[in-house]
């Protein structure tokens, strides 16, 4: 037990409270609690009229005499071992300051379910899978006088001599009792093993006998940095299929050999099952998985195993950046460019940036991996802040997929038959390519970053689009349910018979993944087709099942949104098609071109990762657009150079730093007045023009209404984060005068401007 930090009769504690209030609060430490206080422990505290959760940060100065009598005492210390390790507390302090969010709320957000309330921690036992194994020589014929036991043993032998107890019990009534009897007769053995959910079967990573020369060079340099210790940020830029994952595995292996821990971050749950499967096949039960699709109990169990050091490797999505990995020595951020690393509500942190900061504070190695690095990371590498390692060739010298343009201006013209609807989305060239691929027994991925059957409905008579009544967006038509739905607020209702304004017929325009699925099924009725988007895959189990089926080649065609583009490795895929490359180009966001290039390159990289060569078809109406033209030339260097120059001229990141202040309210005029009030407060605190700080707005947001709320925003930008401090401080002070009916969010380093 850590010795008490207090020596005087009356001592005080600095506490962060788990409420949306700023600052640290002082509490009196009762003598009985003083020996149990260690920085990072959760405490129960009185706050106003309630008893809430707090976090002990350390001793507090003795308050002035006129205040001491009013200081309330701590109620209870909730644990003997701190829930928050010292490095996580330090990271939380940085995040609270940088993202301008209450420290107590940051600390609470790092905890798994069950620890974010003012109650003692419950211990969660490991979840295990019970397996029945028939022993050698087990013969059902010896059990004629016990027919139920005979049936259980016969079933077990029929399925190969090994099966889950639950499976046997489902097939044979009362099998659990019968199996226990068979154990006593030395005919069956019962085994238990840790159960890890959300792992793609069949996607293990056998350790390659030999690395490529580039992989070997990267591993040597990373191992040297790991062994040397100290903060070492590295950008691992590797073309798709170059074996970045094997480099990650080797450096984590080196950390484990030294008895130290590792943290691996991926941007989406869609990537987690496959990556966890690879890490667990290499490292066994020393890997914990962390993401929001797990049950509360599963998340708490993994967190406890990490905190106790029973598990040394954490693999998870952005929230895993807070994982209590014992003796952390390396952090890996896979697909570091992905916008999913940015949290878009409450604490709006960027997990990649926090991973780098955690490595800096901890003094350890951090590896940022991508085929198409973000411009922010690329600029850090070009300026020498990050070491750059490159993998320019695919494993086994497999060729990069051949890239082909399909100009939809030529291949998708309207005809008399398609006057009232859109012509087929699959061009003749694409249909032919799909047919050829399927005839060879190979697999196809079709990518379109739009859900539904038709992305908007337009009246043929008055020209009005069918819009959501609560959001300024068009409704999406889903043919399978014959409903229209808003993909922002979720409101849905049956497809109207005609235009709500004039009664005219509604044209189904725009295309989504459901429409692609229907066209593929019609053109290739024998093909086994799966769809990977947030409508078709609503649970982690369904996601895992779909990815497993495609990995086992039980599906021929996988159609999906950006979920199909992210890091998957399916050797059977030889054809990838971008059904419509133009969907994001016209968005009012300065990152639109960069994201288009990233997505197109990433999805193209799913082709040709096995023994057979791959090809990629890109359908577009804008073949001259910079991101599309550069992607078709495999020219990341040219694209990034031109895009960086454009950002420099316009003073957008990475040249500048941003903070977006977003307001929303039911009352449109009240929201506008609040936005103007905050803008005026910022203007009064602006530094001289020579400092390069600018205020943009206030103005209505590009999507002015969502979920019935009117939205305004203003943006402060300047050369550094420090330069933004004055205007942002003034805005925070002015928040006291904003009506409570207006919600205000300060988003530092916003990932999107919509």
Give the CATH number for residue 190.
1.10.10
Single residue among 79, 109, 139 that ends a domain in this structure: 109
Please report the DSSP string for 174-206 in residue order. Answer: THHHHHHHHHHTTSEEEEEEE---S--TT----
Contact yes or no for 589/703 (Cβ under 8 A) = no
Give the CATH number for residue 292.
3.40.50.300
pLDDT score of 7 more than 50 = no
Q: Do both 349 and 305 map to the same domain?
A: yes
Q: Is residue 438 part of a domain?
A: yes
Residue 271 confidence (pLDDT): 63
* 422-437 residue pLDDT tens: 678 899 999 999 999 9
Closest CA to 152 of 136, 176, 130: 176
Give the CATH number for residue 62.
3.40.1440.60
> Residue 65: is it exposed, middle or buried by C-beta count within 10 angstroms (0-12/13-18/19+)?
exposed
DSSP, collapsed to helix, strand or coil, labels residue 188 as strand
Q: Do both 247 and 292 map to the same domain?
A: yes
* 145-198 residue pLDDT tens: 888 898 889 888 887 888 888 778 777 778 889 999 999 999 999 988 766 554
pLDDT score of 26 more than 60 = yes
Residue range of the domain that includes 230 = 213-397
Mean pLDDT of the chain: 89
Q: Is residue 200 part of a domain?
A: no
Q: Do both 419 and 479 map to the same domain?
A: no
Q: What does the pLDDT average to over 483-510?
A: 89
Helix axes of 375-382 and 636-650: crossing angle, nearest 10 degrees: 90
Which structure tokens are listed for 93? 């302090």
Q: Do both 561 and 577 map to the same domain?
A: yes
Q: Do both 158 and 292 map to the same domain?
A: no
Please report the DSSP string for 488-518 in residue order. Answer: TT--EEEPPSS-TTT-PPEEEES--HHHHHH
Q: Is residue 122 part of a domain?
A: no
Q: Is the dihedral of CA 64, 65, 67, 71 positive or negative?
A: positive
pTM of model > 0.75: yes
Burial of 633-654, coded b for 16+ CB within 10 Å and e otherwise, reads: eeebeebbeebbeebeeeebbb
Q: Is residue 1 part of a domain?
A: no
Q: Do both 309 and 411 map to the same domain?
A: no
Helix axes of 513-523 and 428-439: crossing angle, nearest 10 degrees: 60
Give the CATH number for residue 664.
3.30.70.600
Q: Is residue 36 part of a domain?
A: yes
Q: Is residue 81 part of a domain?
A: yes
Name the DSSP letter for residue 368: E
What percentage of the chain has pLDDT greater than the value 90? 61
Contact yes or no for 622/629 (Cβ under 8 A) = no
**CA–CA distance, 154 with 138 (Å, rounded to integer):** 10
pLDDT score of 200 more than 70 = no
Q: What does the pLDDT average to over 292-300?
A: 81
Q: Is residue 118 part of a domain?
A: no
Domain count along the chain:
6
Q: Do both 234 and 339 map to the same domain?
A: yes
Residue 86 confidence (pLDDT): 93
Q: Do both 588 and 446 map to the same domain?
A: yes
Q: What does the pLDDT average to over 24-46?
A: 94
Q: Do both 389 and 407 map to the same domain?
A: no
Residue 167 confidence (pLDDT): 75
Which structure tokens are listed for 613? 């060569």
Of residues 169 and 142, the one with the higher pLDDT is 142
Query: Cβ atoms within 10 A of the Cβ of 439, count?
Result: 8
| Cross-strand partners of 616 | 403, 576
Residue 5 confidence (pLDDT): 47
**CA–CA distance, 337 with 378 (Å, rounded to integer):** 10
pLDDT score of 1 more than 50 = no
Q: Do both 627 and 600 map to the same domain?
A: yes
Q: Is residue 705 part of a domain?
A: yes
Q: Do both 145 and 262 map to the same domain?
A: no
Q: Do both 536 and 482 map to the same domain?
A: no
């Amino acid at each position: 037990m850590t010795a008490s930090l207090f020596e005087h009769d009356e001592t005080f504690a600095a506490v962060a409270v788990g409420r949306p209030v700023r600052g640290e609060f002082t509490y009196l430490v009762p003598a009985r609690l003083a020996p149990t206080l260690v920085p990072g422990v959760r405490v129960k505290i009185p706050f106003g009229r309630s008893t809430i959760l707090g976090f002990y940060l350390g001793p507090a100065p003795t308050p002035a005499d006129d205040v001491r009598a009013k200081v309330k005492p701590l109620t209870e210390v909730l644990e003997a071992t701190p829930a928050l390790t010292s490095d996580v507390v330090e990271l939380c302090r940085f995040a609270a300051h940088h993202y301008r969010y209450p420290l107590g709320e940051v600390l609470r957000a790092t905890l798994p379910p069950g620890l974010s309330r003012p109650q003692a921690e419950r211990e969660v036992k490991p979840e295990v899978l019970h397996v029945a194994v028939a022993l050698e020589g087990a013969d059902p014929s010896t059990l004629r006088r016990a027919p139920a036991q005979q049936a259980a043993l016969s079933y077990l032998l029929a399925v190969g001599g090994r099966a889950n107890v639950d499976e046997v019990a489902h097939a044979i009534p009362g099998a659990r009792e019968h199996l226990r009897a068979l154990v006593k007769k030395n005919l069956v053995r019962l085994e238990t093993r840790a159960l890890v959910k959300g792992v793609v079967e069949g996607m293990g990573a056998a350790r390659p006998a030999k690395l490529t020369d580039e992989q070997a060079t990267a591993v040597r340099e990373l191992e040297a940095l790991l062994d040397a210790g100290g903060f070492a940020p590295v950008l691992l830029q590797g073309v798709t299929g170059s074996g970045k994952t094997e480099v990650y595995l080797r450096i984590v292996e080196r950390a484990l050999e030294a008895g130290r821990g590792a943290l691996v971050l991926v941007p989406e749950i869609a990537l987690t099952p496959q990556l966890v499967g690879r890490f667990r096949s290499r490292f066994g039960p020393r890997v914990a998985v962390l993401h929001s699709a797990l049950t509360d109990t599963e998340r708490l169990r993994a967190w406890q195993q990490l905190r106790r050091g029973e598990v040394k490797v954490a693999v998870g999505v952005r929230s895993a950046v807070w994982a209590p990995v014992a003796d952390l020595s390396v952090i890996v951020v896979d697909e570091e460019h992905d916008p999913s690393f940015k949290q878009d509500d409450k604490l709006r942190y960027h997990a990649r940036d926090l991973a780098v900061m955690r490595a800096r504070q901890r003094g350890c190695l951090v590896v940022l991996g991508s085929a198409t690095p973000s411009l922010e990371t690329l600029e850090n590498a070009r300026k020498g802040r990050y070491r750059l390692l490159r993998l320019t060739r695919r494993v086994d010298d497999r060729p990069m997929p051949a890239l082909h343009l399909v100009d939809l201006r030529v291949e998708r013209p309207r005809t008399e038959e398609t006057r009232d609807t859109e012509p087929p989305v699959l061009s003749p060239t694409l249909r032919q390519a799909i047919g050829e691929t399927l005839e060879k027994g190979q697999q196809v991925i079709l990518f379109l970053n739009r859900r539904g059957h038709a992305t908007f409905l337009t009246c043929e008579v008055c020209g009005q689009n069918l819009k959501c009544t609560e959001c300024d967006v068009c409704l999406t038509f889903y043919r399978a349910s014959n409903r229209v739905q808003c993909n922002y607020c979720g409101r849905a209702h049956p497809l109207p018979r005609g235009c709500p304004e004039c009664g005219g017929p509604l044209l189904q325009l725009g295309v989504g993944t459901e429409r692609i699925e229907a066209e593929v099924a019609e053109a290739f009725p024998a093909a086994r087709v799966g769809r990977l988007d947030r409508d078709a895959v609503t649970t982690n189990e369904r996601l895992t099942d779909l990815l497993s089926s495609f990995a086992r080649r039980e599906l021929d065609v996988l159609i999906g949104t950006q979920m199909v583009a992210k890091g998957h490795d399916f050797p059977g895929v030889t054809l990838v098609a971008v059904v419509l490359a133009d969907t994001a180009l016209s968005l009012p966001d300065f990152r639109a071109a960069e994201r288009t290039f990233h997505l197109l390159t990433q999805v193209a990289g799913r082709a040709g990762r096995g023994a057979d060569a791959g090809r990629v078809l890109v359908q577009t109406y804008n073949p001259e657009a910079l991101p599309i033209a550069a992607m078709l030339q495999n020219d990341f260097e040219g694209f990034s150079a031109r895009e960086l120059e454009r950002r420099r001229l316009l003073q957008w990141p990475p040249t500048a730093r941003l903070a977006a202040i977003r307001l929303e309210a039911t009352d449109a005029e009240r929201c506008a007045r609040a936005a103007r009030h905050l803008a005026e407060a910022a203007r009064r605190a602006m530094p001289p023009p020579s400092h390069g700080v600018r205020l943009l707005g206030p103005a209505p947001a590009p999507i002015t209404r969502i979920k019935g709320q009117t939205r305004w925003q203003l943006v402060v930008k300047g050369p550094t984060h420090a330069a933004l401090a004055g205007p942002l401080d003034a805005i925070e002070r002015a928040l006291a005068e904003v009506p409570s009916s207006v919600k205000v969010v300060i988003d530092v380093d916003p990932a999107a401007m919509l």
